[in-house]
Amino acid sequence: MRLPEARGPLSEAVRRVLLTGPDGGAGAVGGVPAPAEDADPFGEDLQLALYLAYEPHYRSIEGVADEREWDPALLALRRPMEDAFLAALRAEVPADGDVEAALAPLLEEPVDGRGVSHRLMDAGTWELMREYLAHRSLYQLKESDPQAWLIPRLEGRAKAALVAVEYDEFGAGRGERVHAHLFAELMAGAGLDPAYGRYLDAAPATTLATVNVMTLFGLHRALRGAAAGNFAVLEITSPPGARRMAKALERLGAQERCVRFFTEHIEADAVHEQVLRREVLGGLLEREPGLAPDVVFGIRATALLDERWGAGVLAAWDEGRTSLRMPLGTG
C-alpha cells in the first residue's frame, strides 16, 4: 500500500514516524507536539492518522520498514488518538447492559428504506455503485481480519463459534473463496483497481472511522466485549444489505463475479448472525457477565458510525456530488 497524503498535523506526524522511525520526531511536526486532544476525533486528520498507525498490523506499506509496527514512537502517537476517539464515542453512545435491547433495532428492516443499499437497488447508477465499492474496499479487502484478534481473547463455546464463523469468512480452506478475494474480483469486474488500499486517499473520515473502530476494539483485550458487539452488528446487518446489493448489480447488468460476493453473504451471514448472537455473545456473557455494557457499547458505536457514513454518502448524492474526497478517476 502507498502512503496517502497527510490531512493535517496528526497524519503528517504519523507519516513521518512511519517513514523515518523515532528519529523523525515522535508525535511532533516541526518540534511542536501533534495535538491529538485538540483535533476533531471524527475528523479527517485524526481518522487518517489513526488508520495509518494501525495499518502496519495488517500489511506492508511502501517505503515503511516492517519494524515500525511496534515502534514506541508510533505507539506514543497512537494512544492519545485512540483515547480521543473512544471518549467521543462513549459520549454519544448510551451505556447500559441490555444487549438484547441494543440488538433489537438491527433485527428489523427499516420501514423507510432510505439506506445506501436501498438507493443503489432502486435507482443506483454504475457511477454511484463504483463509489460505494471504493468506500467499502477499505474494510472488505481485509474482511474479518480485525475480528480475528478476538479469537485468543475468548474461551469455550464463544471461541469455538467465533472460529467457525471466521473459517467461513476466510474461504473454508479455499483461497479463491476468501471473502476479501471475492471482493477484489467484484472490484475488478466493476472496473475498479482491486489493489489493497488503492482508494485510501479518496476515502473520507466517515469511511475510515468505520474501519478504525474495528481495529481499535480488536487490538485491545480490554475492549473484547466491544469487539464481539461490533462483529455481531456486521453479521446481523449483512444478509439484507447483501440481498439488496445483489439486486442492484443484477439490475445494472453486472458480471457474475460481481454479484457473487453478495450472494455468498446472503446465506452464510444469515447463519453467522445466529452463531454470533447465541454462541459468541451468549458464551462470552455466560463467562463474563460484567462485559455486557461493553458489548452494548460495541453494538451502538458500530451502528452510530455506519449511520453517519450512510448519511454522508446519501447527502452527497442528493446534492449531485461525489461522496468521496475526490472523483474516482483521480483518487
CATH code at 300? 1.20.910.10
Instruction: Tell me, yes or no, whether 200 and 270 share the same domain.
Output: yes
Residue 288, amino acid: E
Would residue 111 count as lying in a domain? Answer: yes
Is 165 within the bounds of a domain? yes
> Which of 75, 91, 107 is the C-terminal boundary of a domain?
91
pLDDT of residue 148: 97
For residue 177, being part of any structural domain is answered with yes
- Whether 158 and 278 map to the same domain: the answer is yes
2 belongs to a structural domain? no
Q: What is the pLDDT of residue 32?
A: 45
CB-based burial, 106-142: b 16+ in 10 Å, e otherwise: beeeeeeeebbbbbbbeebeeebbbbbbbbbbbbbbb
Model pTM score: 0.94
Q: Chain centroid to CA 101: how far?
A: 23
- Looking at the structure, tell me whether residues 208 and 156 fall in a common domain: yes
At 265 the pLDDT is 84
Looking at the 3D structure of the chain, how many domains does it have?
2
198 and 108, same structural domain?
yes
Is 324 among the domain residues?
no
* 202 touches 328 (CB < 8 A): yes
The range of the structural domain enclosing residue 155 comes to 95-318
Out of 50, 72, 91, pick the residue that ends a domain. 91
Is residue 220 located within the same domain as residue 310? yes
Candidates 312, 8, 45, 48; CA nearest to 200 is 48
pLDDT at 299: 97
Phi, psi (5° rounding) for residue 159? -65, -45
Task: Output the pLDDT for position 27.
Answer: 45
Tell me, yes or no, whether 222 lies in a domain: yes
Are 140 and 271 contacting, i.e. CB atoms less than 8 angstroms apart? no
Query: What is the maximum span of the chain, computed from C-alpha positions, in angstroms?
Result: 55
174 and 300 inside one domain: yes
How confident is the model at residue 239, as a pLDDT?
85
Same domain, 40 and 63: yes
Do 192 and 307 sit in the same domain of this protein?
A: yes
CB 219 within 8 A of CB 325: no
Residue 41 lies in a domain: yes
pLDDT of residue 330: 52
Per-residue model confidence (pLDDT) at position 34: 61
Residue by residue, DSSP assigns 183-198 as: HHHHHHHTT---STTT
Question: Phi, psi (5° rounding) for residue 28?
Answer: -135, 145
Distance of alpha carbon 36 from its chain centroid, rounded? 21
Where among 63, 91, 119 does a domain terminate?
Answer: 91
Residues 134 and 18 in one domain: no
Within-domain flag for 30 = yes
268 and 143 within one domain: yes
Residues 20 and 138 in one domain: no
What does the pLDDT profile of the chain (331 residues) look like in tens digits?
999 999 999 999 999 999 997 665 444 444 445 678 889 999 999 999 999 999 999 999 999 999 999 999 999 999 999 999 999 999 999 879 999 999 999 887 765 668 999 999 999 999 999 999 999 999 999 999 999 999 999 999 999 999 999 999 999 899 999 999 999 999 999 999 999 999 999 999 999 999 999 999 999 999 999 999 999 999 988 888 999 999 999 999 999 999 999 998 887 767 788 899 999 999 999 999 999 999 999 999 999 999 999 999 999 999 999 999 999 975 4
- In 3D space, the residue among 213, 212, 202, 198 whose CA is nearest the CA of residue 52 turns out to be 212
Same domain for 191 and 297? Answer: yes
